[in-house]
Structure formats: structure tokens, C-alpha cells
Amino acid sequence: MNPFSAAEAGKAHAPYKGLSWALVTLSFQTLGIIYSDIGTSPLYTLNGLWPANGPVPPTEDVIGGISAIIWALTLLPLCKYVFICLRFGTTEGEGGTFALYQGLFPPELDYTDDDSLLAPADEKASELSADVHAARAPQSTVPQRLRWPLFVWCLFGTALTLADGVFTPAVSVTSAVAGIAVAKESVTNDVTPISIVLLLVLFLAQFRGTSQLGFLFAPVTLIWLILLAVTGIINIVAYPGIFRAFDPSRAILLFVRTRDYDILAGVLLALTGCEAMFASLGHFNILSIQLSFTLFVYPSIVLAYLGQGARLIRDGEAVLSNLFYATIPGRVNGPVYWIMFVFGILATFIASQTLITAAFSLIQQMIKNHVLPPLRVVHTSSKIKGQIYIPAVNWLLMIVTIVVVGTFRNSTSLSNAYGFSVATVMFSTTVLIAIQMVYVKHLPIYVALAFFLVFGFLDGLFWGAALKKIPQGAYVPLIIGSICMLIMVFWSWAKGLEDAFDGNHRSDLQNVIIREQLHTSDADYDAPEVSYVQREGGPVSDSSSESEKYYICDPEERIISAILPSKEYSALLQLARLPTCAVFHRMTSGKGVPHSFAAFVRQWPALPRVVIFLSVHVMSVAEVEPEERYTLRKVPAVRGFYVVIYRIGYRETFNVKVEAFIDKICDLEAREDPVNSAATIAEVRTAARRVTHIAPHYVVTSRSLGSSRFMRAMSWMRAVLLEDIYRRLATMFPDTDGWRGSADEIIHVGVNATL
């Protein structure tokens, strides 16, 4: 969810001088977007350390456990994320695991407009283009051999973040609803059904978007954190000795004394949501996140844990059954209790909403980068681009979440399964930032090594503790994440092969279109001054026979297609120009006309009056400024042909506005020929009344890998993956599903692709 417009988001990254009102406002808005998850962790963390059905821990164990939580919050969310990771966002201010990967391996053509229908005029021009691209590209020196290992590692962390989208609503809502059972024991068996009903309401309301509730997020989280701090201070009075938890030796002695490594799995629950501070960097700025967490969020949740620990030491078994609700000051069923219950429910709804919305944004990023099939994306706000809704993802999350709640049936069991994905994403971030330190920031290698050893060791401790929880339920997010990762890797591999085929089998426009053949043997014909091209597109001498050469004449003449196989060159097609506009989509960037154009000419022997070759560049920024969205060029070889480069951010939805192209085309024609352009502009605007989008539909076939028994087996497996699975999925989820507009305006032309 993005709380700002594009302009406001740009301002969010501007440096602040002093503590301005704008910075205070921005810091306040971070509360509802970033901290709802980590802010609701006091609901279930201590019962993750000491289960309700277990023995009451000794005083020193309680102090040691609270000390472990405090120092985990200090070292990881505060030191690692707030003071280090936030400085490793992209140059556009974006954060998160996928943004880190894009910083290491930026898209090759993000910073160049070197898309042409014609080959470079000479090698010098080609070298100049390469030099310009190199000058504009981010200075990342990561070896290419690391691309796929880091890509898979990044996808694994991303997939587990999606698993978080299942477990955060399940754990948070179930833990909050459990407060009813503390006040009224008769409804203990109804906690799970009530949680499922609330989750159903949450997911069924997603289609309306978060814009109508967004203004409540920050105030509710603010009140919730104040309540946590106040109740914590009141509870600390029960046992002031709990302040000994600030001594880190108490945490170390706890593990030395108990030798219970599993305690770390419970401590990990206090860290859920810390990755959101880095992932949400693009919505805010570094200083606003640092101020809100350091001055307000961190002390509030630390006071809450200190208070719960103090009450556990004093009251023991009386509060162990639910260490959050049973330690609320005052009597059960009192006004303070129900105020905490109501705000607890609201806070968990916000935390769940944040993770669900984050899952939508993450899926959209994956779709833009060809990591997932193009699912339908619905924008729920006309003002805020980041507010989207993906129906298929919403229903899948809803089904899996309800199944998880119904299977585990209580918050303690859910907590056992919860921490694994959190620990993995934390470790993934540490690895990627350590690599960025060396290859992108160009810091001394000992700095990166020190960062990795310190925080990699801490993350590794929590990861190991989470791994030990696999038999107790952590296998569920592991399975969910592994399935998501396999889908992503498979689609990236197959789609990459298809894109490579598209890029490697393009033709120069001069080899596709040849102007009208003139029979100069006719003595009565006064041939214009012309140049010659061979059937293959190269120059010929004047001594060549008339049957071997074609003339390129005035652009107003009819156009002839030479895209037929060589044996059929004698049957050239004369192409009529129709008063329409066609947009040919180039699915990958690069030189040459797309397959859709060649296939279209083969199947329909006519050309529209206005032909637009559209290349889409997914940039490494979240959003592209409107004035930088389109670049247009006129193709000098053929009248009425234009090249348009369309740039979108990786969080934006494909939304081509042809009327914007037409306005730019008319402006271009008027500038080039102010005197005689009126007729051309009138023709262009007439053609633009009927617009057709044309895209290739690849019929994928797998190539043979070899004749040996092993290679035949590999070829069979490859054919199953590409022909039986990918081909059908590509048919079910065509790229045009991500386009906004009427399906009647889209034509698919078939292209045989042997991959």
C-alpha cells in the first residue's frame, strides 16, 4: 500500500533540514504502514517462549528471556535495519529483497533508448551506443556467474515473504481473538471459528481496496502502541527487578543454564515485521523511519515485554495461559481490558492488511519482471497507484490461510510454524547487502565481511532455531515457499527462453519490407532516381539483371513484402495501406521488427496507415515520471512507421495510452514539416480512430538436446516442461491479460518457436 501520490513519494526522498513538520507527518504515517506487524508481536511472543500448557519458568529464566527479546530487537531491527540496511536502498530510494537484487543486476536496457528497427549504420555507431549504455548503467560489478544463484536465493526469500502473507493474518487474528476466551472461558472452543469468520471478512473486503480505511491505520497503530507502553509501565511496578533484563549477560546465562536452543525460536516472534522497515523504504524516507522506530515504536514494545515479564514473575500460573490478555491492568472484563481487545483486533487487521497488500505489490513486481504469469491486476484507487488488488492471489491466500487456521487451531501451534520464513528473509537480506557492499557500494571487503559475520551469525542463530521447528509446523511455510519458488524459477526459465528466441530471431526492417518493384524495361516509363537492394537486403551493382533487383522509390508508393521464404520471393505481395492504426508490441527490447509484424503481414496482406512498434522497458524504479514515460521516433525507411519506447516502474501496471502516442506523432510531423504536415496529421488522426494491438502468440516446441540415452531423457523432460506445461500456461495467461483496454482491440498472430 502506497500512502502517497507519485509526486508526494518523490518528495519523501528529499533531504530534510532539521525536524520539520513534514518530517513529523511522514514519521507519523509510517506507524500504520510499517509497524503494525512488529507492533502486534506482544500478543503472542511470550507464549511462544513459554507455552500456556507448560511449567511456569523461574524468575531468572523470565529475566533472561526478556533480555534476549530486548537485545534481539536492539541488534536486528534497530542496528541492522534502521541504521544500516536503510542506507542500501536503490538510487531511487527503493528497498526490499527484490530491489537489492535489481541493484546487483539492473535490467540491461533500463538506461538506454537504443531500440531500432534498423541495424546500426556502422560499427562506430554501435560502439557509441554501447558506450552510452555503459555510462548510464549502474556501476555494479557483480560477476555474471553469480546471477542465477543469487536470483534463486532472492526468489526463495521472496517466496517465503508470500508465506508470511498467510501466517501473519492467521497468527495475529487468532492471538487477538483469544482474548475472548480469557474473559469468557465458555467460548474457548469458538476461537478458531470466530477467527475464520474475521479472516473471511478481511479477504472478502479486499476488492474495495485500502483507500477507504487507510486514513485510520496510523492513528489506530499510534493508540495501540501508546496502550502497550502505558500498560507495560503499570505492569513493571509489579516487579521492578525486571530492568535487569537490560544486562545482555542475562540472556547469555539463560542459554548456558538451560541449554535450550529452542528459546530462540520464541524470541524470533518478537522480530516479525522488521523486514517491512526496509521493504517500505520507497514509500517514505530513511529519516522518517529512523525517527518513528527509535523514538516511539522501539521503546513502546520494549516496555510491553518488560511489563509482561514482571507480571509473569509475580503472578506465575495465573497469567501463563495468555501472557498478553491476562497481564492487562485492572480486572478481566473491565473497561481497560476491552479497550485493549478492540484495539488489538484493529491492530491485527492492519498488520494482516499490510502483509496482504505487500503480497499484491510483490506479485505485481514478479509479473513485470517475467517471474510469474501475467495475472489480472485491478487498481482500487484512482489517485494512489500502489493500491492494487489481484483476485487470484487474494482467493488463494484466503483459502490457504483458513486451512492453516483450521489445521493448527490455536495461536501457540501457529507460532511454532511462523518464524521460519521471517528468519530466512532476514538472512537473505544480510547476504545480498554484504554483496552490495563490495560490488555496488565498493566498500572495503573487510567492511562487508564484518557485516556478514556479525549479522549473518545472528540471523543464522535464529534460522537454525526456526529449522528445528520444522517437525512442529514450520514445514508448512517451507512447503508453501518452496512451491512458490519452483513456480517462479520454472516460469523465469521458460519465459527467458521465449524472450531469447524473440530477441535472436528478429529481422531488419529493410529485409522485411521492400518498396514496389518497378519494371524499367518499359521504354515509356520514366524511372525516378533510385537505389537498389538485393532480395536479401544488400546492395547490388547496376549490372545485375532486372529480376535480381528491386527499387526503393518514393515513400508514397505501395509497399511490397519480402518476408516470404526465399523460394517464394517471386510471389511478392503488394500491401495496401488501410486507414487504421496498429500497435505492434515488441515483447523484448533490442533491434529489429518483432515477430508479430512479420506474421501479421504473412496472414493479412495489408498494412495500417499508422504502424507503431512499441517496446516496454520495466525500469528499476517503482514509478516513472509522466514526462519520462514515452519516447517516440519516426522510422525514416517507411512512411507512417514509428518506434515508441514505453517505460513503466516495476510497481506500475501496463497501461498504454495510444492517444498520447498520436499527439506526439502529430507534434513530430508538425515540427519536421511545418508547411506540408497538415494532410499527414489529418491522416494520422483519422487512422487513430481505429486502433488494434497486435502481439505474437508463440507456439513453443522443445529442441532435441542430443542422441545419447541421457540426452534423450533430458530432451523428453524438457519437452514436457515446455510443451505440456509452459505452452498451456502461456495460453491460459497471455501477456495481453496485463494490458488495460478492450479485448476486441487485440489480435494474436501465431509464431512457431523452437526453444
**pLDDT tens-digit map of 254-299:** 999 998 888 998 899 999 888 878 877 766 778 888 999 999 999 9
pLDDT tens-digit map of 14-68: 444 445 788 888 888 888 778 888 999 999 999 889 988 889 999 999 999 999 9
Question: Containing H/E element for 350?
Answer: helix 335-368
Residue 673 scores a pLDDT above 90: no
Give the pLDDT confidence score for residue 48 in this predicted structure.
87
DSSP 590-602: SSSB-HHHHHHHH
Q: Distance of CA 23 to CAs 216, 237, 291, 320, Å? A: 19, 35, 9, 41
Residue 130 scores a pLDDT above 50: no
Give the pLDDT confidence score for residue 331 in this predicted structure.
84
Give the pLDDT confidence score for residue 324 in this predicted structure.
93
Give me the percent of the chain exceeding a pLDDT of 70: 77
What's the farthest any 2 CA atoms get from each other in the chain? 114
CB neighbour list of residue 478: distance below 8 Å, 6 or more residues apart: 420, 470
Give the pLDDT confidence score for residue 596 in this predicted structure.
76
- Do 435 and 464 contact (CB within 8 A), yes or no? no
Residue 241 scores a pLDDT above 70: yes
pLDDT tens-digit map of 308-365: 999 999 999 999 989 999 999 988 888 999 999 999 998 888 888 777 877 887 787 7
**Sign of torsion over alpha carbons 68, 69, 72, 75:** negative
- Do 72 and 267 contact (CB within 8 A), yes or no? yes
Helix axes 21-34, 335-368, angle to 10 degrees: 90
Give the pLDDT confidence score for residue 515 in this predicted structure.
38
CB neighbour list of residue 224: distance below 8 Å, 6 or more residues apart: 39, 40, 343, 344, 346, 347
Residue 74 scores a pLDDT above 50: yes
Better-scored residue on pLDDT, 358 or 671:
671
Average pLDDT over residues 422-441: 90
Average pLDDT over residues 434-448: 92
- Do 613 and 326 contact (CB within 8 A), yes or no? no
Residue 570 scores a pLDDT above 70: no
Burial class (CB in 10 A: 0-12, 13-18, 19+), 135: exposed
Residue 606 scores a pLDDT above 80: no
pLDDT band at 741 (very low <50, low <70, confident <90, very high): low
| Rounded-to-integer distance, Cα 303 and Cα 162, Å | 31
pLDDT band at 736 (very low <50, low <70, confident <90, very high): low
DSSP 533-579: E-TTS----TTS-GGG-EEE--TTS-EEE--S-GGGTTSPEEEEEEE
Span of 72-76, 189-193, 387-391, 508-512 with lowest mean pLDDT: 508-512
| Residue type for position 182 | V
At 733, list the grid cell: 495467461
Give the pLDDT confidence score for residue 739 in this predicted structure.
60
pLDDT band at 483 (very low <50, low <70, confident <90, very high): very high
Span of 78-87, 225-234, 363-372 with lowest mean pLDDT: 363-372
Predicted TM-score (pTM) above 0.85: no
**Sign of torsion over alpha carbons 294, 94, 394, 265:** negative
pLDDT band at 448 (very low <50, low <70, confident <90, very high): very high
Classify 514 as helix, strand or coil.
strand
Residue 638 scores a pLDDT above 80: no
Better-scored residue on pLDDT, 649 or 220:
220
Give the pLDDT confidence score for residue 660 in this predicted structure.
78
pLDDT tens-digit map of 690-712: 888 887 888 889 988 888 888 98
Give the pLDDT confidence score for residue 330 in this predicted structure.
87
pLDDT tens-digit map of 199-239: 998 888 887 765 555 556 889 999 999 999 999 999 999 99
Give the pLDDT confidence score for residue 214 in this predicted structure.
53
Task: Share the mean pLDDT of the chain.
Answer: 78
pLDDT band at 132 (very low <50, low <70, confident <90, very high): very low
Span of 103-107, 114-118, 712-716 with lowest mean pLDDT: 114-118
Residue 78 scores a pLDDT above 90: yes
| Rounded-to-integer distance, Cα 56 and Cα 45, Å | 16
Average pLDDT over residues 238-242: 94
